[in-house]
Amino acid sequence: MTDTQPARTPRKPARAQKATGAWADGDRTPLNPNEVFKQADDGLNVRQRIEEVYAKDGFDSIPGDDLRGRMRWWGLYTQRKPGIDGGKTATLAPEELDDRYFMLRVRSDGGALSLEQLRAIASVSNDFARGTADISDRQNIQLHWVEVEAMPEIWRRLEAVGLSSTEACGDTPRVILGSPVAGIAADEVIDGTPAIEAILERYIGDPQFSNLPRKFKTAISGLPDIGHEINDVSFVGVVHPEHGPGFDLWVGGGLSTNPMLGQRLGAWVSLEDVPEVWAGVIGIFRDHGYRRLRNRARLKFLMADWGPEKFRQVLQDDYLGRALPDGPPVVLGGRRYDHVGIHRQKDGLSWIGTALVGGRVSGDILHAVADLAETHASGRVRLTPHQKLLVLDVPDEHVETVVAGLEALGLQPRPSEFRRGVMACTGLEYCKLAIVETKARAAQVVAELEERLPTFDAPLTMHVNGCPNSCARTQIADIGLKGMVVTNEAGESVEGFQVHLGGSLGAEAGLSRKTRGLKITADELTDYVERVATRYTEQRVATPAGSPE
Ligand code: SF4
């Protein structure tokens, strides 16, 4: 320093940056309990212990890290002990919430099930899961009341027909979403099924991707029909002017408590290259993803820090070793992508899409659907990310027979708008994180609304969630409901919801707005939705056609 320079005020020492726990930083010291148990033993290894020890010695033989940790790698979560009030959820230790039974999630990537697979799930449901079966918003079927003693026989039955529960839960590549109408939709750009199958074969159950910072969700579809904006990685059908049909690449979407929509990398990916590019994106997540805080670990947080340009550069330079061609954006159609109703396939047959409230079916219903599909169609069935069920390949002469058969099972191909637009997560019935009841509540509200407003005919989505985790997508519904304890007029703490309004995906994708202060008790829900629907109808009537909105 010279005499003429002013003396500097000594700077405060910079606050030490906390390590993110990213493996790429070179230090793999585990920074939270999940990272500890994952590093101690790969989650995939628990399968052998389940078959050889826990299934023989019973629930009490399972140590905590396996029970509440690694068993997820095989689709098994302990379910909530019945009778515990939702208001106590946050105050109890995990072991106090644990029942001695499990939820088992069965992978059905792309939502595709053959006749044999549907019957296998139905038989497992009836023989080992008290007849339960719920279609989740990830195109899986979830069974409840499963005992660890039954798992070897359950896996034997599932795997005999090509199903599995491998990495159905846990910090892994979860079930891959695919269009439920892949290969049959007249307007699909490309059928993504071969890419889904290649990823399953090459990478699911592969230890190189079985210890991720958090879960990793994938969507591959030739149509923008499965919510590509809310997945960690999505490949959406698009036609490149030179290369032809392929996929637009999106990265970094996810909902939960910090919702973010995915972003385009601006790159075009051919069908053949999807598995390699998928492996590059998940590789970035494994190596650079944050592993210190669980609630900051999803890929969306890395994407928010890097931005799409840097992400693409790292993908190309460090993981693919080549540049991807630039590509056009996906064209978002104006049609409704919930797959419900009777629709002509490109081969002249029809698919019949049915609405069921909150995805709830049963082993008996699945058996009956299999019988219908075998007798009157090809036997192929698909599940949707909207918790709906489709029967494919129905010839014209059998359509009304299948419709009548499905309706008799409570699966409605011509549902009310309320039934069509509702989704509900697992909720208080089985989920240890839940604060409120969801599926039964949704069914009751739909039935009441159908009675009160029988002619209501506008699309209206209502997503009922038992807690802030948003498994049924609070932030992308017209009416998104986040379960919480609220105070009623009598000053009592009761089940209720924070209301979010105006979320959607597709052409006008945007996250819903939390209406500050708008909390309703669960008992007020029907009245509230009725008011919203009625006001909508009145305003629509009051706006003459052609008027500026
Ligand atoms: Fe459970 Fe909450 Fe997810 Fe519902 S949103 S399934 S209550 S974690």
Residues listed for the chain: 549
Name every protein residue with a CB atom under 6 angstroms from any ligand 1 atom.
Answer: 425-427, 431, 433-434, 465-467, 469-471
Return mean pLDDT, the chain: 93
Distances (CA, A) of 24 to 28, 156, 240, 291, 295: 9, 39, 34, 11, 19
Query: 460: CA distance to ligand 1 center in Å?
Result: 22
> What is the rounded distance in angstroms from the CA atom of residue 460 to the CA atom of residue 533?
8
* Terminal alpha carbon distance of the chain: 67
Q: pLDDT tens for residues 90-141?
A: 899 888 998 999 999 999 999 999 999 999 999 999 999 999 999 999 999 9
> What is the rounded distance in angstroms from the CA atom of residue 219 to the CA atom of residue 214?
17
Mutate to test the pocket of ligand 1, among 429, 433, 475 (most ligand atoms within 8 A of CB): 433
Average pLDDT over residues 56-83: 96
For 386, what's the count of Cα atoms within 13 Å in the CB-facing half-sphere? 26
Mutate to test the pocket of ligand 1, among 78, 257, 469, 482 (most ligand atoms within 8 A of CB): 469
* DSSP for 68-132, written as a single string: TTGGGGGTEEEEEPTT--GGGGGGS-HHHHEEEEEEEEEB-GGGEE-HHHHHHHHHHHHHHSTTE
Tokens representing 258 are 């910090």
Query: 469: CA distance to ligand 1 center in Å?
Result: 6
Task: State the pLDDT confidence band at 15, using cuts at 50, 70 and 90.
Answer: low
For position 130, what pLDDT does the model report?
98
> What is the rounded distance in angstroms from the CA atom of residue 97 to the CA atom of residue 432?
6
> What is the rounded distance in angstroms from the CA atom of residue 198 to the CA atom of residue 272?
9
Query: 428: CA distance to ligand 1 center in Å?
Result: 8
Q: What residues contact 473, with CB distance under 8 A and at least 6 apart?
A: 137, 227, 230, 255, 423, 463, 465, 480
Tokens representing 132 are 């339960």
Query: 472: CA distance to ligand 1 center in Å?
Result: 8
> What is the rounded distance in angstroms from the CA atom of residue 369 to the CA atom of residue 361?
10
Predicted model pTM: 0.93
Torsion sign (Cα): 441, 443, 444, 446:
positive
Query: 257: CA distance to ligand 1 center in Å?
Result: 11
Strand partners, 362: 132
Can you state the angle between helices 151-160 and 115-128, rounded to 10 degrees? 170
Q: Which atom of ligand 1 is nearest to the CA of 432?
A: 1
> What is the rounded distance in angstroms from the CA atom of residue 100 to the CA atom of residue 234?
37
The pairing of strands 76-80 and 98-106 is antiparallel
Q: Which atom of ligand 1 is nearest to the CA of 435?
A: 7
For position 549, what pLDDT does the model report?
28
Q: Which atom of ligand 1 is nearest to the CA of 474?
A: 5
468, 257 Cβ separation under 8 angstroms: yes
Tokens representing 508 are 């006008």
Q: Which atom of ligand 1 is nearest to the CA of 431?
A: 1
Tokens representing 56 are 């023989």
Query: 337: CA distance to ligand 1 center in Å?
Result: 24
Average pLDDT over residues 381-409: 98
Q: pLDDT tens for residues 278-300?
A: 999 999 999 999 999 999 999 99
Atom 2 of ligand 1: nearest residue by CA position? 467
Query: 123: CA distance to ligand 1 center in Å?
Result: 26
Task: State the pLDDT confidence band at 397, using cuts at 50, 70 and 90.
Answer: very high
Is the pLDDT at 191 greater than 50? The verdict is yes
> In terms of Cα–Cα distance, which of 123, 84, 124 is closest to 104?
124
- The interface predicted TM-score (ipTM) is 0.99
Q: What percent of the chain has pLDDT over 70?
A: 94
> What is the rounded distance in angstroms from the CA atom of residue 414 to the CA atom of residue 431?
31
> What is the rounded distance in angstroms from the CA atom of residue 184 to the CA atom of residue 315?
33
Q: What angle do CA 237, 243, 245 make, to 5 degrees?
A: 25
> What is the rounded distance in angstroms from the CA atom of residue 201 to the CA atom of residue 141?
20
For position 544, what pLDDT does the model report?
44
Query: 466: CA distance to ligand 1 center in Å?
Result: 5
The helix (H) or strand (E) run that includes residue 222 is: none
